[in-house]
Amino acid sequence: ETSHAGKKVPAYDQKYYSRFKGKDVEINVYNWGEYLSTGEDGLMDINAEFEKLTGIKVNYSNYETNEGMYAKLKSGANSYDVIFPSDYMISRLIQEKMIQPLNYDNIPNFKYIGKEFLYPAYDPKNLYSVPYMWGRVCIIYNKKLIGHEIHSVDELWNAKYADKILMFKNSRDAFALALEKLGYDINTENRKELDQAAELLKQQKPLVQAYVMDQIFDKMQRNEALIAPYYIGDYYIMKEVNPDLEAFIPQNTNIYYDAMCIPSDSAHKEAAEMYINFLNEPQVAADNAAFIMYSSPNSEAVKLLDDEIREDKNLYPPKEELKNTQAFVNLSEETNLYVDQLWTDVLSQDDAYLDWVMPVFVLFSVLVLLINSIRKRRKKEMNNAGRRKNDK
Strands 254-260 and 326-327: parallel
CB-facing half-sphere around the CA of 392: CA atoms within 13 A: 5
Return the HEC string of 281-295.
Answer: CHHHHHHHHHHHCCE
**Residues 48-87 interacting with ligand NCCCCNCCCN (rule: CB under 6 A):** 86
Q: Is residue 231 near ligand NCCCCNCCCN by the rule CB under 6 A?
A: yes
Phi, psi (degrees; rounded to nearest 5) at 330: -70, 145
Q: Which listed residue (4, 26, 34, 38) binds ligand NCCCCNCCCN by CB under 6 A?
A: 34
The region of 31-39, 259-267, 317-325, 369-377 touching ligand NCCCCNCCCN under the rule CB under 6 A is: 31-39
The one-letter amino acid at 252? N
Phi, psi (degrees; rounded to nearest 5) at 123: -140, 70
The region of 61-69, 126-134, 181-189, 295-303 touching other proteins under the rule CB under 8 A is: 61-69
Order of strands across the sheet that contains 57-63: 57-63, 26-32, 82-83
Contact of residue 231 among other proteins, ligand NCCCCNCCCN, none (CB under 5-8 Å per partner type): ligand NCCCCNCCCN
The region of 94-102, 118-126, 179-187, 359-367 touching other proteins under the rule CB under 8 A is: 359-367
| Interior angle at CA 103, CA 102 and CA 107, nearest 5 | 100
Query: What does R_g of the chain's alpha carbons equal in angstroms?
Result: 26
Q: Which of 255, 38, 25, 67 is nearest to 169 (CA)?
A: 67
**Residues 255-274 interacting with ligand NCCCCNCCCN (rule: CB under 6 A):** 256, 258
Per-residue CA distances from 160 to 62, 163, 181, 206 (Å)? 35, 9, 18, 12
Inter-residue contact 138 to 231 (CB < 8 Å)? yes
The region of 66-74, 109-117, 245-253, 313-321 touching other proteins under the rule CB under 8 A is: 66-74
Contact of residue 65 among ligand NCCCCNCCCN, other proteins, none (CB under 5-8 Å per partner type): other proteins
Q: Is residue 104 near other proteins by the rule CB under 8 A?
A: no
The region of 16-24, 53-61, 116-124, 316-324 touching other proteins under the rule CB under 8 A is: 53-61
Give the count of residues interacting with other proteins (CB under 8 A): 73
SS3 at position 166: strand
How far is it, in rounded angstroms, from Cα 247 to Cα 315? Answer: 12
Contact of residue 163 among ligand NCCCCNCCCN, other proteins, none (CB under 5-8 Å per partner type): other proteins
**Residues 185-224 interacting with ligand NCCCCNCCCN (rule: CB under 6 A):** 214
Residue number with CB closer to other proteins (72 or 310): 72
Alpha helices in 158-223 (DSSP H): 171-182, 191-204, 215-221
What number of helices (H) and strands (E) belong to the chain? 15, 12
Q: Is residue 300 near ligand NCCCCNCCCN by the rule CB under 6 A?
A: no
**Residues 83-142 interacting with ligand NCCCCNCCCN (rule: CB under 6 A):** 86
Q: Is residue 159 near other proteins by the rule CB under 8 A?
A: no
Q: Is residue 234 near ligand NCCCCNCCCN by the rule CB under 6 A?
A: yes
The one-letter amino acid at 75? S
Helix axes 66-75, 171-182, angle to 10 degrees: 140
Contact of residue 223 among ligand NCCCCNCCCN, other proteins, none (CB under 5-8 Å per partner type): other proteins
Q: Which listed residue (4, 43, 55, 79) binds other proteins by CB under 8 A?
A: 79
Residue numbers of the site for ligand NCCCCNCCCN (CB under 6 A)?
32-35, 86, 173, 214, 231, 234, 256, 258
